[in-house]
Amino acid sequence: MSNDRHQGSARGGGQPAVIAIDGPAASGKGTLAKRLAAHFRYAHLDTGKLYRGVGVAVLRSGGDPSDAAAAERAARSLDAAGLDDARLRTAEAGAAASKVAAHPGVRAALLALQRDFARRPPGGAAGAVLDGRDIGTVICPDAPTKLFVTASVEARAERRLKELQASGAAAIYAAVLQDLIERDHRDSTRSAAPLKPAEDAIVLDTTHLDADATFAAAIAAMTSRNT
């Protein structure tokens, strides 16, 4: 599989190549981001983890994720190296993340870290893959490659249910579906950097695609656009 920009042309001492991936929860964007990063040997940043880290920090301190001042304080003191905590992957952390993410002060506090990652990918990588909700629209609006990964809310709920069950968590479909509907609503109707495709994004609907087919579709779309 070839792709001109990502197979070397951006490495001649210029800007690092950036792949911006956005989409709703459980759309498959995280798996795709990891696969593309491994394929091109780029560094990968799951930006949802930053918001989850802030949400969990607020909960740990006994605060309310809807409280802008508490959330902003947590965002300013976030330890980006300490985001491997299993609690970050829980449904509770996802809901808290979606609440803290609506505060403009939280988003501002996390902006430089994300842009620095894209400008200077760690480990000397020639490029970076960032996935989240506003990468193509706000964090890296000049990224040459933007993907918007989506799927029906029912397909996403099935996937999230399987993930939760595989991790040993008790979960029922109706509750997972409801959680995603609420999260989609919060993430796409907030005034600060709402979830939406960038105008120049390639939209991939993964409702009927597994991880391999999603990866193949992304590479094919990038190659035909030559991004």
Residues near ligand DC (CB under 6 A) are 25, 47-48, 51-52, 94, 97-98, 101, 132-134, 183, 187
Least distance to ligand DC from the beta carbon of 137, Å? 10
Give the shortest CB-11-to-ligand DC separation in angstroms: 26
Least distance to ligand DC, CB of residue 220, Å: 24
Tell me how far, at minimum, the Cβ of 28 lies from ligand DC, in Å: 11
- Can you tell me whether residue 129 is helix, strand or coil? strand
Is the Cβ of residue 8 or residue 104 nearer to ligand DC in the bound state?
104
| Nearest residue (CB) to ligand DC, 3 versus 103 | 103
Cβ proximity to ligand DC: between 3 and 202 the closer is 202
Q: State in angstroms the smallest separation of the CB of 21 from ligand DC.
A: 10
Residues 210, 26: Cα–Cα separation, whole Å: 12
Alpha-carbon distance of 71 to 195, in angstroms, equals 20
Buried b (16+ CB within 10 A) or exposed e, 173-192: eeebbebbeebbebbeebee
For the bound state, the minimum distance from the C-beta of residue 109 to ligand DC, rounded and expressed in Å, comes to 13
Residue positions counted in the chain? 227
Rounding to the nearest 10 degrees, give the CA dihedral for residues 194, 83, 117, 204: -50
Q: Is 209 helix (H, G, I), strand (E, B) or coil?
A: coil
Q: Which residue has the tokens 């929860």?
A: 25
> Which stretches within 77-227 are classed as H helix?
91-100, 104-119, 153-166, 173-189, 211-225
Pick the closer one to ligand DC by CB: 75 or 202: 75
Q: Which is nearer to ligand DC, 16 or 94 (CB)?
A: 94
d(CA 141, CA 195): 14
CA nearest neighbour of 164 among 99, 97, 101, 92 = 92
User: Which residue's CB is nearer to ligand DC, number 121 or number 132?
Assistant: 132
